Structure 1
């Protein structure tokens, strides 16, 4: 089937889009991929939704802004896709399915026996009705309700992508987004995964906090800074790094406070080292060294992050493009792949990727002109 996958990351940068032809098992063909930057009003609305989500007490009604933000996300997806499809001589009628991950505004992992909370905003029913195409969505909540971490979800796609490229295990795929996560393929169907630590998110927040822009473009600030080792050690003392896998993070789980006295350049360099060192610790946790680490996500565009990973990891580090992968589209492709699996009732999360007790199908389907979303 031909599936359009959407992804909007926690960097609040753009709507990523990719078309896959897949049955949720094999990847039959890669269609076009692209992105459209989020409009400023929608970005501001999502920032407000995120801030309110952080204050949202358990048992209280969801913040009212969630509904407005969910519709805005769907409208932004529709506008982005209509331009994208037209540019690639496609129409909605050419698609069998849409995968919409939605915008994450909250991710609280399970803690001391308490079930976690995760929220991805996006009005899937509205999008299905406007496009006439079924929309797979809500990929995480079933896993979380069953006691899993609900993240990361891309590992099953990473396995399919590696196989489609003829790569051999042991292999690691590292996604450096707002949070960094690793998928480790040890052979056969065996995959494990977890969030290693911060990706770009802390550097982005640092830049914004210091009034230096939204992100450290090409690592300009980090490249002239010096890693502050005592601060790095303080960051690495966080109990998350002692926790067993599978495990997951929210981009706000780490504080910028230890960096308060650092010059901007030194703070940026220290956070880059923090990202890389957290990945190194993650590979130690796996207990087996991969043949290579393939880096996807926005972090691979920061040369300082790539240098730090190369210097600190015990194996070769390559970018997605070195294998012919579309590094900026991997998560949108994964959304399309998860959508196909959801439609077919195939599992999308597993005990060694999210900690869920057994493989979980997850996801729901919003069908056009129906009364509401239904379980897949």
Structure 2
């Protein structure tokens, strides 16, 4: 009867939903428990003392089963609660400064110059207006506020340096939009051809010394040092001494189909500043003819005469005589445009070592010929009265 009572009691513990004791462990524990229990004395209290002892044993066994189960859960993790909301902390990563060497420093100063040059020579929206006697143009949409300009420059300059560059330029805000003088600018030095000759770098600061060519192809250089700071990338922390000069605009008739290429424009600008044919030596005969037409449209007759051949057998009149030619004899702009229309699409045909002509269709009069002469120095020049 006592054994049956104990089995029933243990059976109730086994069926508890929160405990799952191993069956073999239960049998072993029960056997060991009864082996170690002393034989009860024959007395009148026999029936009353057995129940409390069995209750104590039951509670001990329950505690052991619970402890074993909990230890098992912790070991295999099969019944461990899953908390989906727990986010493991991530250590922040710190971007280390990249090494600054001479090659990188040359690249960075070129990028910085190009960004500033893009601002100054932004073509804008095409809308120009007069303000206090000066002609201005609105900046393009991406640069129509100082905040946008500073943000663009801040890729190469620290915020303070970018702000100072803007303050140094004659911007105005007109009717809520940013505008600048309607002129073109040209750099005084070759900032894209610099050479870094010394780089002194600490953890987040560098001092770079550059050699800056004074002009293209010149051996004369200007040596200057600039400080750079690391802010996600190396940036210039000083206002660069970018000096620019205004380029005179080439006026063209709205009816003109003549358009100079960038190379031709640069050659024409240099030629207009210094009227020597050396500035035209690398151009093709067609490019030289186009510049001749543009100089005629601009009434730069000093340039026109310099473009004529200097071979003695081909010279028709002197420079002084050319200066005395009346304006009325040179033709109007419409006459010039009509005569040379289509020359940019012409074909150069060389007929001898020193002679050639550009064949082109001007539309109105059919095919025309523009005479070219190779001078003794090897340059192609325009023949006097090129169209006859």
Q: What is the TM-score when the length of structure 1 is the normalising length?
A: 0.24
Q: Which one scores higher on RCO, CA 8 angstroms, separation ≥ 6?
A: 1
Q: What is the TM-score when the length of structure 2 is the normalising length?
A: 0.24
